[in-house]
Structure formats: C-alpha cells, structure tokens
Amino acid sequence: MPVDIERLAKLATKPGVYLFRDGRGTVLYVGKAKSLRPRVRSYFQPGADLSAKNRELVRAVDSVETLVVGSEAEALILEANLIKEHRPRFNILMRDDKQYPYIKVSVREPFPRVYVTRRVTNDGSRYFGPYTSVGPMRQALEIVKQLHTVRSCRYDLPREAPERACLDYHIGRCKAPCVGLQSEAEYRGMIDEILRILEGDTEGLRSGVEERMRLAAERLDFERAAELRDALAGLDTLARDQRVHRAQGGDLDIIGLARDGELGAGVVLRVRSGLLLGRQALRFGKVLRESDVDLLASLLSRHYLGGGDAVLADLPRQVLLPHDVEDREVLGEVLSEAAGRRVEVTLPKKGANVRLLELAEQNARQVLEDRVTAMAYAADRAEDALFSLQEALDLKVVPRLVVCFDVSHTQGTETVASVAMFENGEPKRAGYRHMRIKGEWGNDDFRSMQEAVTRYFKRRIDEGAPLPDLTVIDGGKGQLGAALAALDGLHVRDVAVVSLAKKEEEVFLPGRAESVRLDRRDRALHLLQRVRDEAHRFAVRYNRKLRARRTLRSDLGDIPGIGPRRQTTLLKRFGSLQGVREATQEEIARVPGFSEALASRVLTYLGR
C-alpha cells in the first residue's frame, strides 16, 4: 500500500476535508470529517470493514491530502466546492436536468429583460421555475406579452443603445426605451407587475387590468382592449391552476429520491407562500452500491452548496427530508447563515408534510422513468428558434426580422441578386426582392454583393421602413466584407450581419477570425439554412428567367419582322423558346401582333 500509514497517525483531529489521489495526482475521492485523523485512518486499518466500492478506492489511492477548516459547516461547504471542481470518479456524481426551462428576469439591469433560459447563473437575476410543464410557462409569458411591452433586445441600456428602434417597436411589442421613448421609472413599474405575475399574485393584478381595459375602450382603442380582455382570461386560468397546486404550509423545499439499479433520481419541490412553483431534478448514475443516506447527502450538497447564488437567494424556511443524514444540523446552520434567518431541516413523521414527501418521491420516480422528457421531443417553435439564434450569434436583439442576400449569374452574365425576408421565423414573401446588378462586375461576386446590399438598404432608409434585425449573406468572409463595406458607406451601424458558407455550414461574424460552427441539430442553424435556401432559390429562379428571355430573343432576333416587342409578347405567351417551338401555327397567329404568315415564318426559322 503506497500510503504512508505513519503519516496518517499525525493528521489533525480538527474538522476538514481530505482528497485521495492516484499515482498521477488525479483526485479520486473528496470527503469531509469532523475529525480528520480517525476518519482518514479508518480507510487503511488492517481488517477494516469496507464496502466493495471503498476497497476498490483504497487499492487505487497513492497519496492523501487534507485541508483543515474552522468548523463542520466550513468542511461541508469546502467538500461541495471541491467535488464540483474535480468531479472525482468515486464520489456520487449527478447531473442537473437541464431540459427544464426557467423564466429569467434580469432585475439588476436598469431596463430588465424577461426571457426563457435553461442556464441558471449567479448574476443576481430572478429565476422562476424550473417549469416541468411547458404549457404554464408559455401561458405566463403570453400574459406578460399581452399586458406589458417588455424589451427583447440585449443592449446594455442606457449605456449602450441603437440609433433607431427595432421592429418590435413598430409592431407594438416594445415602447423603445432604447431610444428614450419610455422612461426607466415607467419601465420599472411594468417589471414589478411582471414579477408579481410570476410569483403567483395574479388575483392582485385583476382590478388594474380591468381599469386599463375600460380606459382603452373609452379611447376607442378596441384592439388593445381585446388584448387586455384576453389577458384577464389568462390571469383567471393561472389563478385556477395555482389554487389547484396549493400546498399546506408556507415556504418549503421538499426532497424526494427514487432509484432503480444503477440509476437514481432526486427532486427538490419548491413551495413558496403555499404555492408549488416548480421542481429541480437531478439524476445519478452508477449508484447500485450507494446507500440512500449517501444519495440524499450528495443531493443536498449539490443542490444547496453547489447551486450558487440563484439557489441561496431563494431559500425556504423549512427543508423536508425523507430520512436523516449525518450533516442535517450542520446543513441547517449553513442555510440559516446564508438566508439571514432560521432554516429548519426536518424529518416529518406524520401529517400533511409526510404527504408532501410522498409527492416528492412520486416526482422523483417520474424523473427516473422519463429519461428523455417531453421537452426533447417538442416541435421546433419559431419563437424558440429566434431566441436560440440570438444566443448562438450573441445578437443584441431578437432577430424577428431577418433578410438574406444571394447573388447568382451565368458565367458572368445575367447577374442578379435576391433578398429573402423572414419575420418571426417564417417567410414573408411580400418582402422578397430581386434586382439586376447594374455594374459591369462580371463574375465578381463581392462587388455584386456590395451593390445589392447598398441598393436594398438605401431604399429601406429612403422609405422609412424598419431595417432588419439580422442580415444574412450567402457566402464566406469575402461576401461578408462586401456587405459590411456597403453598410459602412450608408453609415448604418446597428444592423447585425453574418455570412453562412454552404460547404461546412460555417457562420462568419464581423471581427472574428474563426467561424462559428453550430450543431447540425441546432434550431438556430436550421433557421439560417431556411433563410439562405430561400434567397438562393429566389435568385436562381430570377437568373433562369432572364437567361430564358435572352435565349429566346437571341434565336428570334434574326427572324424578319420579329422585333423586341414581339419577342417579349411571345415570351409572355409561351414562357420559353421550347414553348414557342411546341406551339402550333394557329396558336402563334392568335397572339396579338401576329398573323398566319408571321406565325409560319417563326416556325420555319425555328426548324418546324
């Protein structure tokens, strides 16, 4: 045994944490102890009664490192942090159920945002969830949208702001605080109401919504009155759902465990003000040889001590455990200190709290059985794709209005450009545009792209039309540079521009040497591909149309009596040169401006 037994006899008898390492220095196991010396030596005593797992651990240990701390509470916290840092293979490891979403309110910002996220960070924001059922989450967000015009952009307001309001302002989804059209005080009042909705206080808002609906009707703003009416109906539905989910008691966390062979699952049900708000789910692997006590202790450590500020900022007054753990009282001390008030960690034996523990166990069994949740199979939603795209490309605003440019030509002739437009993730064909490139650039795609972008944006600016939130260029770095040069020439600074290269589906962003590669299954990439493919299809179709006209006119131009006007008339009537060839003499003679003799001449020259 490589471990120095004599050295272990000299360890401190104070609280602390010990790390077992292998011969390469890798941390195999992290543990804590009220007294380091007896705890560590117990692993290496001759004839020690060790579990199969610990016998395997001891055989792999090469060295022992200890850290002395001031109290058992400090040892508990340090152990959780070291496990999180090293992820030792002999500790019970678990993973959060990342598929459940949260609603995040970035309350530390002067103009907070409200959006869905699956990532909880220690940034001082308010998080609501996790939502195990997507329906209530979407319903709450829809009511927020109906009642309030919360911004969706990512500008660091008021320090950072665009030159003009985005599409959300023009369609009534935002009051444009970014350009000073809404004050911070008014915006903050709106956020306070949103927080009350998400906290479950829907009934308290009802009278205010009714008053706003009445005022809107008096102003003959019936569209807004209808929106508020629908929001009232939504508030009533949420209130009914909340009454159904009310639990006895006040602020509680209820812990549940379930296991099946090597697999295990744990949940933390969050009850606040008697309302069941959501659950945090974690999954365990390779736990066949672990006791329920060890699993529960790991769950508590991971959730409360490894969950960061987002968890510690919303601690309950009581934590209900299904059975006892060694550090129950110490955990209570740690949580009480973090909360600034007493947090009890208890083991209910009877009454309503026992029934709540049964509910938590049922939830844990459900998590264990649903290895893949319904979220994984949810149909792609346009709204989700937009937020995914914003996240993937680090955009300042949600790209509700997206345009894509493509250039097409035939060996340097019939050079055309197309613009496909998507609004809220769906094609807006009324916004599609195509143009013939005027410059004699031949097959210089870069200069053709610069001309197309310049002409399109100049016209949008002259017409006072909203500029796109995101401009996609079909191509690589060269095409991206051409588009940026065009926008710079027009002094357009606040439009995001990226390019999408076909071969490897690489996304190029301004100022970045390396491309961004999105997962092939990513909804953000799917949306970019749809926009790009539409622009390409539209450009190719226009190019073919011009090529067909040129071919027809070239072949018909030598026929006596068939000038440009008659060539165009034939093109419109029969669509292509082949269509003219297949037409009968009588059909051509019926075309305005043609006679039987002229029709016969056309067919003769075409080899009929």
Question: What is the CATH classification number for the domain harbouring 337?
Answer: 3.30.420
**The pLDDT of residue 376:** 34
Confidence at residue 187, expressed as pLDDT on a 0 to 100 scale: 94
pLDDT digits (tens, 9 = 90+) for 179-237: 999 999 999 998 988 887 777 666 666 777 788 788 888 888 888 788 778 777 766 65
Does residue 122 lie in a domain region?
no
Asked if residue 168 belongs to a domain, the reply is no
**Greater model confidence, 448 or 543:** 448
**CA distance readout (Å), 285 to 13, 261, 266:** 33, 9, 12
Percent of the chain with pLDDT strictly greater than 90: 29
3-state secondary structure of 258: strand
Q: In whole angstroms, give the CA distance from residue 113 to residue 150.
A: 7
β-pairing verdict for 496-501 and 470-474: parallel
Domain check: are 491 and 584 in the same one? no
Q: In the prediction, which pLDDT does 221 show?
A: 83
Beta-strand ranges (E) seen in 91-168 are 94-96, 102-105, 114-117, 126-128
Quick one: pLDDT band at residue 608, thresholds 50, 70, 90?
A: low
Query: What's the whole-model pTM score?
Result: 0.46
Phi-psi category of residue 501: left, alpha or beta, with phi > 0 → left and psi -120 to 50 → alpha? beta
- 424 and 540 co-located in one domain: yes
Rg (CA), the chain: 34
The answer to whether residues 448 and 475 belong to one domain is yes
* One domain, residues 428 and 488: yes
Is the domain of 441 the same as that of 491? yes
Same domain, 412 and 541: yes
Whichever domain contains 79, its CATH number is: 3.40.1440.10
Residue 173 lies in a domain: no
Q: Would 214 be classed as within a structural domain?
A: no
Q: Which residues are paired to 501 by β-bridges?
A: 506
Q: Note whether residue 132 is domain-resident.
A: no
Residue 403's DSSP bridge partners are: 421, 471
CA angle at residue 460 from 457 to 464, to 5 degrees? 140
- Whole-number Å distance between alpha carbons of 529 and 392: 14
Q: Which of 91, 109, 129 is the last residue of a domain?
A: 91
Is residue 118's pLDDT more than 80? no
CB contact set of 491 (below 8 Å; sequence gap of 6+): none
- Looking at residues 506-515, what average pLDDT do you find? 89
User: What was the pLDDT predicted at 182?
Assistant: 93
Looking at residues 152-181, what average pLDDT do you find?
88
Q: Which two tokens stand for residue 467?
A: 């500029």
My answer on whether 425 and 454 are in the same domain is yes
Q: Which residues contact 58 (CB under 8 A, 6 or more apart)?
A: 1, 43, 44, 50
- CATH number of the structural domain spanning residue 438: 3.30.420.340
Copy the structure tokens of residue 65. 């490192």
| N residues, the chain | 608
Q: Residue 561 and residue 584: Cα distance in Å, rounded?
A: 19
In 114-207, the DSSP E strands lie at 114-117, 126-128
pLDDT at 407: 92
Work out the burial of residue 54: count CB atoms within 10 Å of its CB; fewer than 13 is exposed, 13-18 middle, 19 or more buried: middle
User: Count of CB atoms within 10 A of residue 513's CB?
Assistant: 6
Residue 535 and residue 564 in one domain: no
Domain boundary among 58, 75, 91: 91
CATH code for the domain of 586: 1.10.150.20
Question: Which burial class, exposed, middle or buried, applies to 218 when counting CB atoms under 10 A from its CB (0-12, 13-18, 19+)?
Answer: exposed
CA distances from 367 to 155, 257, 272, 290, 370 (A): 38, 10, 22, 19, 5
pLDDT of residue 448: 93
Report CA-CA distances (Å) from 387 to 144, 399, 422, 425: 17, 8, 15, 10
Assess whether 524 and 541 both reside in one domain.
yes
* Any domain includes 179: no
Q: Are 320 and 253 in contact (CB under 8 A)?
A: yes
Q: What is the mean pLDDT of the chain?
A: 83
Tally of domains in the chain? 4
Same domain for 336 and 470, yes or no, is no
Domain-embedded: residue 485: yes
Give the pLDDT band (50/70/90) at residue 482.
Answer: very high
- Count of Cβ atoms closer than 10 Å to residue 180 Cβ: 11
Categorize the per-residue pLDDT at 377 as very low, low, confident or very high, splitting at 50, 70 and 90. very low
Mean pLDDT value across residues 159-178? 88
CA 228 vs. chain centroid, Å, equals 28
The reply to whether 282 and 387 lie within a common domain is no
Residue 481 has pLDDT above 80, yes or no: yes
Domain stop point among 342, 375, 408: 375
Residues 339 and 401 in one domain: no
Which structural domain, as residue segments, surrounds residue 68? Answer: 5-91
Answer yes or no: is 110 within a domain.
Answer: no
pLDDT at 552 > cutoff 60: no
CA dist 402 and 420 (Å) reads 8
Residue 373 in this model has a pLDDT that exceeds 60? no
